Amino acid sequence: MTTESDRALLEAARRGDEAAFGRLVEPYRRELHAHCYRMLGSVQDAEDALQETLLRAWRGLRGFEGRSSLRSWLYKIATNACLKTIERRPKRVLPIDYAPASDPHDGPAEPVTESVWLEPYPDERLGLDGGLLGPDARYEQREAVELAFIAALQHLPARQRAVLILRDVLAWRTSEVAELIGASEAAVNSALQRARTQLRQVAPTEDEVTEPSEASVRELLDQYATAFETADITTLTRLLAQDAVFEMPPIPTWFAGRDRIARFLVARVLVPDHFRLLGTHANGQPAFGLYLRNEAGEFLPHAIQVLTLADRGIDRGIARVVTFHDPDLLPRFGLLFLTVR
């Protein structure tokens, strides 16, 4: 422990003072939650893993001897909790990893309601401005939370996933990771190299996808929201990149290519004054809360839509749209269950 105050809290917590324990672990709660989300791809699973971590830490506090930092000890418990969760449930994916691309004339398939889908995560919980990532991290802060990166992590075997997050995202030393997962440094380095190789096969590289400038992003998002609300398919099509992807979990159907997406939107989705879009952010990316108009003319919570923007020279614009059809997601983003007219 680094301060007298910390040491006093630790001793009080060891004597059974729950309030002292809460104050002791509070500085690490948010980053542990983000770590569990990267491991699991699910907000609810991350919450469960965090609660299990804190419960185990409380019960095992007498055994914490201080040979490592409290933070390292908590990460060890959290990582092991995530590894056990991964053993007993299927990996989280997006529709692009679940089934082949569809023909827009076929329409959407029935929703898959099992817990197989990746979930979006509010920026404010990821600590993008809080320095939760190590200064020597291989990935920039936004890269390490983007939806495509989180989805790519889920393809890795569980221990490789843990090693890559700890080394390349949090910038832990090899010796620290080896101690945390109970492996040799050689085994950690081997797992890291395999994880990096596999990740390059499923995740876009920095050269392939770069974000447009901030000013052009604001203009693009304004145009997108207006076009979606007014069913302006001409503008929407222009805003999409040529090879854009459109996904709709829990519906496994997805579409690839600007023209196919446009045909689907015209045939199945867009009606003038049928949607309202309210801006938010998820996974370090621009997002919208979608409100759907009912027969009484009220706009009710409907979905969270996360956009990936890309600038590839002549092919630029919106490269990916993932619409998470779950009204329960909106409160996580500060978009309450209020009727919008």
> What crossing angle do the helices spanning 18-40 and 43-60 adopt, rounded to 10°?
140
Integer Cα distance of 19 and 59 in angstroms: 14
Mean pLDDT calculated for residue range 7-27: 93
Lowest mean pLDDT, pick from 119-123, 174-178, 205-209: 205-209
Lowest mean pLDDT, pick from 16-20, 63-67, 231-235, 335-339: 335-339
Integer Cα distance of 184 and 259 in angstroms: 51
> pLDDT value at position 68?
83
- Mapping DSSP to helix (H, G, I), strand (E, B) and coil, where does residue 130 land? coil
Q: How far is CA 85 from CA 44, 45, 50, 71, in A?
A: 12, 8, 11, 21
Residue 250 has pLDDT above 90, yes or no: yes
Mean pLDDT score of the chain: 90
Question: Which two three-digit tokens encode residue 292?
Answer: 């759907």
Asked if residues 116 and 92 have their Cβ atoms less than 8 Å apart, the reply is yes
Closest-CA residue to 148 (of 325, 304, 320): 320
Mean pLDDT calculated for residue range 322-336: 93
Lowest mean pLDDT, pick from 104-113, 148-157, 224-233: 104-113
Lowest mean pLDDT, pick from 32-46, 54-68, 116-130, 148-162: 116-130
Q: Which domains does the chain have, with CATH numbers?
A: 1-89 (1.10.1740.10), 214-333 (3.10.450.50)
Residue 105 has pLDDT above 70, yes or no: yes
What is the per-residue burial (b if ≥16 Cβ within 10 Å, else e) of 245-260? bbbbbbbbbbbebbeb
Task: Map tokens 């449930």 to a residue.
Answer: 89
One-letter amino acid for residue 177 of the chain? V
Residue 206 has pLDDT above 70, yes or no: no
The angle formed by the CA atoms of residues 213, 217 and 219, to the nearest 5 degrees, is: 120
Say which residues have a Cβ less than 8 Å from residue 198's Cβ, sequence separation at least 6.
Answer: 155, 156, 160
Question: Which two three-digit tokens encode residue 156?
Answer: 């890795």
Asked if residues 44 and 127 have their Cβ atoms less than 8 Å apart, the reply is no
The residue with greater pLDDT, 10 or 138, is 10
